[in-house]
Amino acid sequence: MAKVVFTGGLRTLVGAESIELEAARVVDLVAALYARYPALEGKLEGATVAIDGTLHHDARYQRLLPTSEVHFLAPIAGG
């Protein structure tokens, strides 16, 4: 099962530092998170998603391994 680690406001909404969920892709993971934590609904859109240390700007269809660790981060911009 993929491990999702929460920080900041997301941790407050979920009430846990990390959880484990069954999901093959990030899009499935997000749907599962919204279903389990309705307060999260919409909060993960546009997030930069770190999967095993690699930061994806658009991770919607990225595949997850059972050992994957996922972080949802603020969108990363630049100048």
Partner 1 sequence: MSNQNGSGSDRKFKVVGTRPIRHDGLDKVTGRANYGADLALPGMLQGAILRSPHAHARIKKLDVSKALAMPGVKAIVTSADFPEIGSGGMAAGESHIDPKDLQANIMARGKVLYHGHAVAAVAASTIEQAREACKMITVDYEVLKPVMTLAQALAKDAPILHEGRKAVGVPPLPEGDTNIMMRLANAKGDVDAAFKGADVVVEGWYEASMAHQGYIEPHATVVTTRENGQAEIWCSTQGPFAVKSMVAVTLQMDPNLIRVTPSEIGGGFGGKTTIYLEPVAVLLSRKARRPVKMVMSREEVFRATGPTSGTRIWAKLGVKKDGSFVAADTRMEFEAGGFAGSPMGAASMTLYAAYNIPNFRFEGLDIVVNRPKVAAYRAPGAPNAAYALETAIDELAQKLAIDPIDLRLKNAVKEGDVASYGPKYDRIGFIECLQAAKNHPQYKAPLGKNQGRGVGAGFWFNVGLQSSATVSINDDGSAVVRTGNPDIGGSRASMAITVAEELGIPVERVRPLVGDTDTVGYCDLTGGSRVTYATGMAVIEASKNVIEHLRARAATIWGCEVDAVEWRDGQAVGTNGASNNKPLSLADIAKQMAHTGGPIIASASVNPPAAGPGFGVHLCDIEVDPETGRSTVLRYLVVQDAGKAVHPSYVEGQFQGGAAQGIGWALWEEYLFDKDGKMENPGFLDYRMPVASDLPMIDTVVVEVPNPLHPYGVRGVGETPIVPPLATVGNAVSRAIGVRMHQLPMTPPRVLDAIETKKG
By CB under 8 A, is residue 9 in contact with partner 1?
yes
Q: What 3-state class would DSSP assign to 59?
A: coil
By CB under 8 A, is residue 12 in contact with partner 1?
yes
By CB under 8 A, is residue 73 in contact with partner 1?
yes
30-52 per-residue burial string, b: 16 or more CB within 10 A, e: under 16: bebbeeebeebeebbeebbbbbe
Q: How far is the CB of 9 from partner 1 (least distance, A)?
A: 4
| Residue appearing with tokens 């997030």 | 47
Query: Where do contacts with partner 1 occur on this chain (CB under 8 A)?
Result: 5, 7-9, 11-12, 46, 48, 50, 52-58, 69, 71, 73-79
